[in-house]
Structure 1
């Protein structure tokens, strides 16, 4: 259980809980990253052809070590990385307004912080484009959330949607990956040190969950402090595809799949599975980002670190 003041924000008069009688539970096992270098066996990249063409690699506890070795080989060559987090919805609304457009950026952050503090992430999708043009994508399934436990907050509609998308809720608590192990992998692999350009779609919650996981601690109280943590973690090149798409074409709106279709970002003849939501989401965000980067050129630089759902709506 968390310390008494761990989620003090949840008692803020501005935040209202949609579901009642939900026990507050820690987001992660907050084991700190020691910074110690650990040598993994070197391996040549000899993956099946299907893994080299953008197919999502589903990662659980039983194949985590094998996929870790591959990521160690790929990460130092990363040029573009796209992030997608899946989580069981939201259970809080802001007392000032249910319409995000009516809230200030600080109020939107206050709401995000409350939801991220209480709801556990389910999956982390990472898509990587290397300097030689290859594409890899992983979907890391996290241990922690137990759908049979009344103590773990969730939005039933979101859970139903994710179940339909292929999230195996029954397998997560017994076969998922501990968050601290994934944190160590992403830091030690060289993915952060490679300083790639990062992309996400409607990224406020995706980035908030990622920051929490990578630091192993709750989010800071202020928006400015949060954005500073983002800059320290992944550097300046962070872009929200939803923001870029809207600047490119005002009609390029809606869900990520709609934006990708509007941009014709998926190469001809390539199908993208929808059965792995985090992994698929990261691939689509990566493809859309790369398409928009070509279209916008240097103009996209002005939209760095502008996250939809936070600074913009």
Structure 2
């Protein structure tokens, strides 16, 4: 039975509990093969004068690379779920189920570049940048744990879900490689497949094949009558990853009853 109607509690992950939470995720991956992801980062410091939908894939990648190379990841939200939409209940018999929010320490508001409106938005939703610097996770260590847990890489069987996830995966590839993104889009796509496999579902791309769906994640969720499982969402990485998982499942169940949604796997929005 699906626990999708249960309230989801977000497990905050810091440097002190990183290993314990990744061990738990590693064990859970045997049962939960889908992982929805969302990230928070300091906005966009490079922008195109033209709307994104008018950019070629190469132009979009050049813009993405410029931003990702010069900015730092702040949060990563992960929601694990199975084919039926069940999230881990961690032995609570369905009383609660859980998702994860990883807090990274790399971004220093005192010295790094950022878009003020993005940082103000995160602050207004409770993000404490001083605590991030003091108790957050080093991105290099986070990348090592991603690989060791088999969330990513050749030993992974995970199917990823995202909403307009080019930047999410761009930042993860940057920290996994420990260097700027490759110059060529084709090389980026090869890294994307190497780390995250070919079964990657971008809701923003898939909804083009669903009549009446448009806009951002919250707008699409409202159109589908998806109610956030965390109650009042805080617009941070953890709650956004939960909403992405719920929206994907509702879209899949409503529009892909007789058509395999896997025909749209591996297509990132903007590429």
TM bin (shorter chain): 0.7 to 0.9
- Displacement of 1:131 after TM fit? 6.5
Q: How does 1:290-309 map to 2 (within 5 A)?
A: 290-294=249-253, 295-297=255-257, 298-308=259-269
SS of 2:160's equivalent in the other structure is: strand
- Displacement of 1:75 after TM fit? 2.5
Distance of 2:242 and 2:132 partners within structure 1: 22
- Displacement of 1:187 after TM fit? 1.4
**Residue in structure 2 matching 1:164, options 116, 124, 138:** 124
Q: Which residue of 2 aligns with 1:20?
A: none
Q: Which residue of 1 aligns with 2:248?
A: 289
Q: How does 1:168-179 map to 2 (within 5 A)?
A: 168-179=128-139
**Residue in structure 1 matching 2:64, options 112, 124, 132:** 112
Q: Which residue of 1 aligns with 2:140?
A: 180
Is 1:80–1:198's contact at 8 Å kept on the other side of the alignment? Answer: yes
Distance of 2:109 and 2:55 partners within structure 1: 32
**Residue in structure 2 matching 1:228, options 184, 190, 202:** 190
Structure-2-length-normalised TM-score: 0.85
- Displacement of 1:63 after TM fit? 2.1
Distance of 1:173 and 1:66 partners within structure 2: 21
Is 1:166–1:276's contact at 8 Å kept on the other side of the alignment? Answer: no
Is 1:75–1:194's contact at 8 Å kept on the other side of the alignment? Answer: no
Query: Which 5+ residue runs of structure 2 have no aligned equivalent?
Result: 1-5, 89-97
Is 1:85–1:210's contact at 8 Å kept on the other side of the alignment? Answer: no
SS of 2:29's equivalent in the other structure is: helix
Distance of 2:50 and 2:224 partners within structure 1: 31
SS of 1:190's equivalent in the other structure is: coil
> Quick check: 1:264 aligned with 2:216?
no
Most deviating of 159-168 and 62-71: 62-71
| Structure number with bigger Rg | 1
- Displacement of 1:299 after TM fit? 4.3
Distance of 2:51 and 2:232 partners within structure 1: 32
Q: Which residue of 1 aligns with 2:173?
A: 211
Distance of 1:296 and 1:130 partners within structure 2: 17
Higher-RCO chain (CA-CA 8 Å, sequence separation at least 6): 2
CA RMSD, 1 decimal? 2.0
> Quick check: 1:76 aligned with 2:30?
yes
Structure-1-length-normalised TM-score: 0.75
How many residues are matched? 252
- Displacement of 1:165 after TM fit? 1.9
